[in-house]
Structure 1
């Protein structure tokens, strides 16, 4: 039986036609998918701009399903989950990105940074620390160090905080010497609590050398010297404070008065306090002066001098407390009302977040800022 080549000749056009139809169908399907993915993506952006986060998440999930290889969609979706507080879902998205083998190194670094932020926002500080440490040598290195510094400060890990601050200080982020001095003061406080005053003294001396214009190391050193019975050294430390950080003397005025009385240096301390008050009128300085003045009448006149310089309800209340009023029956009631009214005025207020406290903080418990509390009371601001 001879082979009929007629069928071969007829098969070529048929095969060509079928191939052409298949290619057209594939191209059509590809165009449909390409149109669908951007449409869902832009729909998500529109919802996001209108602050409709639930709808935006649904749109981005649809876009990711249509185009699972697009990393930008994953980043957008993960960031949305983090902003909504859905940290577990954000972690899953970014971990999925990290597991992809086709991810470029810049995208991998970006995913690692996003994952670290997820852990940080979720309060998983140990996992956040590990994730941030992996960003050394990447474009996100500086941001990672700042985040690590925040973690170590919150956990009071002053050793690691000092290491990170030193690295940041050597880069373009400016000087971190004042913050490092605060860390040394914190370590000195821990040493005092543990009974190691020698180590505490050494740490405070290092802090003074590192940040000479910072008031805290000198004040803490004077307190420790006073506790150790070295009143003369404590007085000299506070005299140095008046020269290098005069605003800090407002916080140490009461300490200075106590040290002067213990060491018989009332005249020296009184002269220093009066000179400081001439430059910076403060109720704290007035209180210390009143404590050191030997004549009670002269002492009470300082409240009047303060009232002449500025209207102070606190000074008025303290002056009235020592006056002999004709209506003694109601004196106690008036005094109690004044004391109640002046309590809020004697607080300190953080300049960064407005957190108020009866004591002065070097590290704000509200916003975690350093040196954000002025040395003056609320009434004097």
Structure 2
């Protein structure tokens, strides 16, 4: 049977017309989607700038649904979820990005970094640690190591914290010598609580040789020696602290005075404190320690007068008044109680980074977690 070529004459034009119509339809649909997607995106951006995060999230979800392959919208949506505190949805968004096979290496690393931030904000430190370790050979390596260091400090994993600090020094992030000294002091304190005082003592003695500018190392060594009955060794450690980091002497002035009274070192300590007072700004702790070494109350009160001559101080005035008697006993008691109450806030220490105040001195601020952010002087002396 012969083939009828007339069908080709009719079929080809019809197929061409149908193809052209289909392409026009697809083109109009693509244009409509492209127009709809930017509208949702810009609406979400406007709502975000207006601090309407819930409505902005809805707009970005609409934009993602219209164009599920757009990675930037996914990143924006995941970050919004995190800022809003919806960490579970943020994790799902970023895990979806990591599972996509069309993303380049740069976007995959960016998604991994965002996922680690989700876990950190959610307080899932073990999952955050695992996510951060995958960024060690990426452009986010420095940020990842710093975040890992924070995790190890929060979990009190001092050994891993020390290793991470060494790696940060290696890649040129500055010196972590004093922070590593804190880690060793924490480890020594743990050994001491466990009864391993010999190991703790050896660790601290090695530490002061390696990091002589660590005030905490000298103080920890002095406390441990004193607890073992080695008062002479404890005083030697505090004298070394005065030579290496004299600005921290006020922190141990009271201990110096008390321990010196147990042996023949009283005169040496008093001379050390007087020399320090001549070379530095007035310190209430140093003045109080010197007063403790005086043989009678009159000489002690004279030291507070000398302090007041150099610098007005309500606390020093209260210490001086504590040894004086005036008026009726009941009136005197009320006046001294009022002064003591007014002086309490002035005796605190204040973090230079966040302003957190505390009665005791902290090597790491409980508020902002900064190390060595507390000046070794009282609030009144700032």
Whether TM-score is above 0.5 comes out as: yes
1:2 deviation in Å?
Answer: 6.2
Q: State the partner residue of 1:322.
A: 323
Q: Does 1:256 align with 2:256?
A: yes
In the other structure, the counterpart of 1:173 is 173
Between 132-141 and 36-45, report the one with greater CA deviation.
36-45
State the Cα distance separating 1:316 from its structure 2 match.
0.8
Instruction: Provide the secondary structure at the position in 1 that maps to 2:260.
Output: helix
Equivalent in the alignment of 1:362: 363
Instruction: State the 1:296 CA deviation.
Output: 2.3
Q: Contact 1:182–1:207 (CA<8 Å) still a contact in 2?
A: no
**Which string of whole-angstrom CA distances, capped at 9 and with x for unpartnered residues, describes residues 175-194 of structure 1?**
01110000001111111111
Counterpart of 2:203?
203
Maintained 8 Å contact 2:273/2:286 = yes
* In structure 1, C-alpha distance between the alignment counterparts of 2:211 and 2:127, rounded to whole Å: 33
Q: Matched residues in 2 for 1:32 and 1:206: separation?
A: 73
- Aligned equivalent of 1:380: 381
Listed as ranges, the matches of 1:82-93 within 5 Å are 82-93=82-93
Q: What corresponds to 1:341 in structure 2?
A: 342
Q: What residue is the counterpart of 1:23 in the other structure? A: 23
Report the CA distance between 1:311 and its aligned residue: 1.2
Structure 1: runs of 5+ lacking an equivalent: none
Output the TM-score relative to the length of structure 2: 0.96
Deviates most, 324-333 or 215-224 = 324-333
Q: Which residue of 2 aligns with 1:193?
A: 193
CA contact (8 A) 2:349 2:377 kept: yes
Following TM superposition, where does structure 1 have runs of at least 4 consecutive aligned residues deviating by more than 4 angstroms? 1-4
CA offsets 1:68-122 (integer angstroms, 9 cap, x no match): 0111111000000000111011011111111112221111111111111101100
Aligned to 1:109: 109
**Does the aligned pair in 2 maintain the 1:178–1:210 contact within 8 Å?**
no
Which residue is equivalent to 1:293?
Answer: 294
Asked whether the equivalents of residues 208 and 218 of structure 1 are also in contact (C-alpha less than 8 Å), the reply is: yes
Q: Is the 8 A contact 2:297 2:323 kept in 1?
A: no
Change (3 A) 1:296 1:3: closer
What TM-score does the superposition give when structure 1 sets the normalisation length? 0.97
Q: 1:38 is matched with which residue? A: 38
Q: Paired residue for 1:123?
A: 123
Instruction: Give, in whole Å, the separation in 2 of the partners of 1:148 and 1:206.
Output: 27
Determine the C-alpha separation between the residues in 2 that align with 1:157 and 1:244. Answer: 29
Deviations 1:146-198 (A, max 9, x none): 11111111111101111111101111210011100000011111111111112
Where structure 2 has 5 or more consecutive residues not aligned to the other structure, the ranges are: none
Instruction: Give the CA deviation at 1:274.
Output: 0.9
**Helix, strand or coil at the partner of 2:74:** helix
Rate the CA distance shift 1:52–1:206 in 2: closer, same or farther, 3 A. farther
3-state secondary structure, aligned to 2:162: helix
Distance 1:202 1:86 in 2: 49
1-side partners of 2:158 and 2:186: how far apart? 8
Q: Is the 8 A contact 2:363 2:374 kept in 1?
A: yes
| 2:152 corresponds to | 152
Query: Structure 2 CA distance, aligned partners of 1:329 and 1:230?
Result: 45
CA displacement, residues 214-252 of structure 1 (integer Å, 9 cap, x when unaligned): 211111111111111111121111111111101111000
SS of the residue corresponding to residue 261 of structure 2 reads helix
> Compared with structure 1, are the counterparts of its residues 3 and 161 closer, same or farther at alpha carbon in structure 2 (3 Å cutoff)?
closer
Shift of 1:358: 0.7
